[in-house]
Each structure stands twice: as structure tokens, then as C-alpha cells.
Amino acid sequence: MGNINSKGIKENTYDAIVIGSGISGGWAAKELCELGVKTLVLERGRDVKHLIDYPTMAKDPWDFPHRNDLTLKQKEENPVASKCYAFREDAMHFFVKDKEHPYIQEKPFDWIRGYQVEEKV
């Protein structure tokens, strides 16, 4: 009968909202839930489905044009991310590109980021 959402406020009210599903947020959410707190986790990145979202999983070294090495351009565009051992042809797609999301470093700080559920966990 009609579209009255009389429970809207109640259903969308939480005791705790965790922002980010990485190692800290994920663990905090688990603890909160175990304490019986009504918890909401917000994550900006997409969900990564096991197996389905591993596009390079079944590739062999020769399937990568640079045999899994980075190109000069990729290194130049990602001075921070390319410091991470895993930032290679086979896993780059999980990383935040430095160019797309720059940040200010007052002191040198390597911020290796990924936007997906469970982040880098």
C-alpha cells in the first residue's frame, strides 16, 4: 500500500560505521559485529570475486608483453606505486595509479593504495 517507508530511518541507522574495508577497517568491523553492534562498512572500491576477478591468474610469463616488467612510462607515471614489489604487469590493475590520485608528501611517504573490498589484505 503506497511507498511509505516507515522503517527507513530505523533501517538506515547504525551504531557504528566503518569507512574502508582494509586490514584495520575489516578487523574493526569484525570486532564490532561480534560485540553485537549494528555495523555498516563502506568501501569505495569494487568487490573482487574469487577467481572471476583474477584476469592474469592463468597467464604465463610469455603472455605479458614485457614479461611482467614495467615499462619506462609506467615507472615514470607511478613513482610511488612502482616501489611496491607487486606493482608489475600481472597485478597493476589492483593498484591506485599515482597520476590518478596524487597526494602531498611533506616528508617522503610511500602510500601504496588499492581500491577494492579488503583492499590489500
Partner 1 sequence: MKRRRFLSSVAIILPAAFVSTDILFSSCNTGTEENYFSEENINLLDEIGETIIPATASSPGAKAAHIGDFMKVYVTDCYTPEQQAIFWSGVNKVKKISKNKFGNPFPKLAVSQKQQVLHSLENESKSSKSTNKNESAKGDAVQTGKEETANTTDNTARFYPMIKDLVVFGFFTSKRGATKALRYIQTPGSYQGVVPYKKGDKAWAT
Judged by beta carbon, residue 65 or residue 108, the one nearer partner 1 is 65
Q: Is residue 65 at the binding interface for partner 1, with CB under 8 A as the rule?
A: yes
* Close Cβ partners of 12 (under 8 Å, ≥ 6 residues apart): none
70 burial (CB, 10 Å; 0-12 / 13-18 / 19+) is middle
Smallest gap from residue 17 Cβ to partner 1 (A): 41
Site string for partner 1, 69-108 (x = CB under 8 A): xxxxx-----------------------------------
Count, residues near partner 1 per rule CB under 8 A: 13
d(C-alpha 115, C-alpha 7), whole Å? 32
